[in-house]
Each structure stands twice: as structure tokens, then as C-alpha cells.
């Protein structure tokens, strides 16, 4: 099944691809980047700021009344109280700065406090993931579906590891041990937006992480849901954006994955 992109998605795609072209150029000149440290193991580069500025300007021009929530610049109020862009201009910054070609631009649209549309663009591979509520999820022009695996021992999962300065190392190691014991494997590639896009594409069978920011997951949530997947927080509720925990998978594996994650250490 194929579908034509709506005007809304085209606006988001144009902004993501324009920012992505700048990131791709900067990625080829990593040694020239000026890098500042803004927190424990949390880096931001000039390229990051330029990408966000590009996205902001493109989206503000196309939809001047919409508000913004951005990783670097924070909240910008709009006169339209129903619509808000949620932007991560460079998800996978640490990968980017270490020369690892696994990072993405993520743009979500929140409408009346629900994620309505999302675009995740991987500049190095030119993979464009996009979804709009009720219209399906796509990779470029190909329809996406989450995996149909039912058995944990055949399933591959992705996760995010708490880094220096963040709490939760001990509980995460318990979760990791629980999932590793029964699954085909666990991957940690350091870009939550792409982890969720890959769940939507059926490449991963599930993903979980705690202590994550709204801009990391906004676009990915709608992608997984429109691909037929199931997304909740660790409590099984729809508060991922508020409490920073997320479990995404197909409907067959969500419950067993959730159980493994909430199981305490012996």
C-alpha cells in the first residue's frame, strides 16, 4: 500500500531534510566542530544548533502560529494552542561527535496533547520515516509494519543505557539481564528516535528506555502506533512524554517485555 504525503508531512519532511543536509556536511568535518559540554556525558555541537535553527525557521515559515518544544532552545509559545512541534535536531549527538554514522533528525507534531504526526530522517543513509495519525507509517514510500514475532527467544530488542551522571544503573542492569536471558539479543545504538523507527519497520521487535526526553520519542511514538505497534510507559499508561519511560513493541510482545522490565532482581 502506498499513500501520498499530506501537506503537513511535506512541511515536516522539507525541514528535516534541509537540516539533515547540514548535518551530513558537518559530519564530514567532525574534527573542525567546536564542541561545548552542557552536562554529564551530554554534548552539543555547533551543528546541533544550526540544525535546530534550520528546522525552526522552516516550520515557523510554513505554520507561523504553531508552538515549539526544542531540545536546545526549549519552549517557544505559539498563538495556536492546539499544535506544537517537538524537535530533536540531532538525536545521537554522541555518535555524531565520535564519527559513528548513526544519528537522525526527529520532528513530532503534538495536536491537542496527542502525538499526531512524526518524521525521523537519517541523513547518512537517506532513510525517511514518517507517519500521520490514521494514515499509516512509511519508510520513504514503503508502508511499514511492526514485526509479527510472538516468541521472546526469536526476538531482538533495543534499549538505552543510563550514562554518567544519571540514576538507574542498577535497575537497568536487572532489566537487561532479564531480557537477555530470554531473547535473541539486545542492541544499544544510542539514538532513541531511530530505535523507535526501527521498531516500526520490524527491524527490532521491541524497545524500552527510562529517563528519556519528549523530543527523543515524540515522532517515534506515532510511527510505531501507525505501523500497528503498541506504545506505553513502564506503568502501561500513555504518559511517556510526561514521565520519560517507554516500552514499544508489537502487541504480542509488549506484555512479556513489560513484565521483564518491572521484575525486581532476585
pLDDT digits (tens, 9 = 90+) for 69-110: 999 899 999 999 999 999 999 999 989 988 899 999 999 999
Q: Which residue has the cell 554522541?
A: 94
Q: Are residues 136 and 69 in the same domain?
A: yes
Question: Is 2's pLDDT higher than 80?
Answer: no
Print the domain residue range for 42.
7-143
- How many CB atoms are located within 10 Å of the residue 3 CB? 12
The CATH number that applies at residue 215 is 3.40.190.80
How many domains is the chain built from?
2
Q: Are residues 186 and 251 in the same domain?
A: yes
End-of-domain residue from the set 143, 165, 192: 143
Q: Are residues 83 and 129 in the same domain?
A: yes
pLDDT at 154: 97
Q: Are residues 125 and 200 in the same domain?
A: no
Judge whether 20 and 121 are in contact, CB under 8 Å: yes
The mean pLDDT of 219-239, rounded to a whole number, is: 97
The end-to-end CA distance of the chain, in Å, is 47
Does residue 2 belong to any structural domain of this protein?
no
Sorted by sequence, the CB contacts under 8 Å of residue 258 that are 6+ apart come out as: 232, 234, 236, 247
C-alpha cell recorded at residue 33: 566542530
The CATH number that applies at residue 129 is 3.30.540.10
pLDDT at 118: 98
pLDDT tens digits along 139-160: 999 999 999 999 999 999 999 9
Question: Is 30's pLDDT higher than 80?
Answer: no
Q: Are residues 137 and 186 in the same domain?
A: no
Q: Is 187 left (phi over 0), alpha (psi -120 to 50) or beta?
A: beta
- How many CB atoms are located within 10 Å of the residue 175 CB? 23
Structural element, H or E, at residue 186: strand 185-187
Sorted by sequence, the CB contacts under 8 Å of residue 216 that are 6+ apart come out as: 88, 91, 106, 192, 193
Q: How far apart are CA 93 and CA 82, in angstroms?
A: 30
Q: Which residue has the cell 502487541?
A: 251
Residue with the larger pLDDT of the pair 185 and 262 = 185
Question: Is 243's pLDDT higher than 80?
Answer: yes
C-alpha cell recorded at residue 223: 510511527
Does residue 1 belong to any structural domain of this protein?
no
Q: Are residues 84 and 123 in the same domain?
A: yes
Does residue 28 belong to any structural domain of this protein?
yes
CA 41 to chain centre: 19
pLDDT at 179: 92
Q: Are residues 11 and 133 in the same domain?
A: yes
Q: Which residue has the cell 513493541?
A: 249
Q: Are residues 38 and 133 in the same domain?
A: yes
Strand, helix or coil at 28? coil
Q: Are residues 119 and 21 in the same domain?
A: yes
Amino acid at each position: 500500500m502506498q499513500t501520498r504525503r499530506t501537506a503537513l508531512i511535506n512541511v515536516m519532511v522539507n525541514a528535516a531534510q534541509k537540516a539533515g543536509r547540514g548535518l551530513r556536511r558537518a559530519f564530514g568535518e567532525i574534527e573542525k566542530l567546536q564542541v561545548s559540554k552542557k552536562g554529564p556525558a551530554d554534548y552539543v555541537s555547533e551543528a546541533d544548533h544550526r540544525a535546530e535553527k534550520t528546522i525552526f525557521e522552516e516550520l515557523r515559515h510554513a505554520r507561523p502560529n504553531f508552538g515549539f518544544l526544542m531540545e536546545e532552545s526549549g519552549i517557544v509559545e505559539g498563538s495556536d494552542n492546539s499544535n506544537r512541534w517537538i524537535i530533536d535536531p540531532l538525536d545521537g549527538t554522541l555518535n555524531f561527535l565520535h564519527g559513528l554514522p548513526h544519528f537522525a533528525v526527529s520532528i513530532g507534531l503534538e495536536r491537542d496533547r496527542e502525538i499526531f504526526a512524526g518524521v525521523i530522517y537519517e541523513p547518512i543513509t537517506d532513510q525517511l520515516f514518517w507517519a500521520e495519525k490514521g494514515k499509516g507509517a512509511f519508510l520513504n514510500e514503503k508502508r511499514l509494519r511492526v514485526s509479527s514475532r510472538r516468541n521472546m527467544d526469536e526476538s531482538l530488542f533495543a534499549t538505552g543505557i543510563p550514562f554518567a551522571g544519571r540514576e538507574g544503573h542498577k535497575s537497568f542492569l536487572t532489566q537487561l539481564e532479564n531480557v537477555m536471558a530470554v531473547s535473541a539479543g539486545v542492541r544499544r545504538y544510542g539514538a532513541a528516535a531511530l530505535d523507535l523507527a526501527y521498531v516500526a519497520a520490524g527491524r527490532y521487535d521491541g524497545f524500552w528506555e527510562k529517563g528519556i526526553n519528549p523530543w527523543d520519542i515524540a515522532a517515534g511514538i506515532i510511527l510505531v502506533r501507525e505501523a500497528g505497534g503498541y506504545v506505553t510507559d513502564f506503568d502501561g499508561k500513555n504518559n511517556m512524554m510526561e514521565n520519560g519511560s517507554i516500552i514499544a513493541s508489537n502487541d504480542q510482545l509488549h506484555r512479556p517485555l513489560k513484565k521483564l522490565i518491572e521484575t525486581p532482581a532476585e
